[in-house]
């Protein structure tokens, strides 16, 4: 392994460790996501290094990123934030595995990914906002009435967005996705699925 390869490998392992253990796990405490993030990163790094070592060209790395980017994560447990960490780990593996003009260019780009994720995933930026799926035991035909009821039940200062997911006229139930801002002084817990009374 040459100097570039050694530098890229060390940088990749250091950066993915910083992203997963220093940022993601410390804030979200999801052990089940640690292996996928690290595994995806190391796998992408290994494949890119092997393909480029076989003189197949820089386009292969870019093509690999494009193919992986169209994979849809179908698990209901994967949030949009988790998907961002997936692509962050993928990007780090790519930039550390592809030989750039300087051996430090890839690690610098990977460090940029870690720094941006650490910055935008600060808990204090989102502490007043929540997003939940709510099942109401009543069908609301008026948007204003629906928002007023949700604000009351969720202790919300304001309803940011409401999307009706399902209306069941047989069971007289309605499922909605709601984003809202907490009222001052509220100690309401984070996002969860809720079943609410009339």
Q: What would the pLDDT profile of 12-70 be if each residue is shown by its tens digit?
A: 999 999 999 999 998 888 888 899 899 989 988 988 887 776 655 556 656 666 666 55
Of the candidate ranges 73-82, 92-101, 179-188, the one whose mean pLDDT is the lowest: 73-82
Q: Report the Cα 74 to chain-centroid distance in Å.
A: 13
> pTM of the predicted model, to two decimals?
0.67
Q: What would the pLDDT profile of 113-151 be if each residue is shown by its tens digit?
A: 999 999 988 877 667 778 888 999 889 988 899 999 999
Instruction: Kindly give the pairing relationship between strand 173-182 and strand 129-136.
Output: antiparallel
């Amino acid at each position: 392994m040459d100097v570039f390869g050694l530098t890229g490998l060390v940088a990749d392992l250091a950066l993915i460790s910083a992203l997963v253990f220093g940022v993601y796990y410390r804030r979200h405490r999801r052990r089940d996501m640690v292996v996928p993030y690290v595994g995806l990163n190391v796998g992408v790094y290994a494949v890119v290094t092997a393909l480029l070592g076989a003189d197949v060209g820089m386009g292969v790395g870019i093509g690999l990123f494009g193919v992986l980017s169209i994979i849809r994560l179908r698990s209901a447990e994967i949030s949009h934030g988790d998907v961002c960490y997936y692509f962050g780990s993928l990007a780090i593996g790519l930039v550390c595995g592809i030989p750039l003009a300087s051996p430090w260019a890839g690690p610098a780009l990977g460090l940029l990914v870690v720094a941006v994720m650490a910055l935008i995933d600060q808990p204090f930026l989102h502490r007043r906002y929540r997003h939940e799926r709510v099942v109401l035991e009543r069908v609301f035909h008026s948007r204003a009435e629906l928002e007023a009821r949700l604000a009351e039940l969720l202790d919300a200062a304001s309803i940011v967005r409401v999307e009706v997911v399902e209306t069941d006229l047989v069971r007289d139930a309605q499922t909605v996705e709601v984003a809202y801002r907490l009222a001052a002084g509220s100690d309401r817990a984070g996002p969860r699925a809720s079943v609410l009374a009339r």
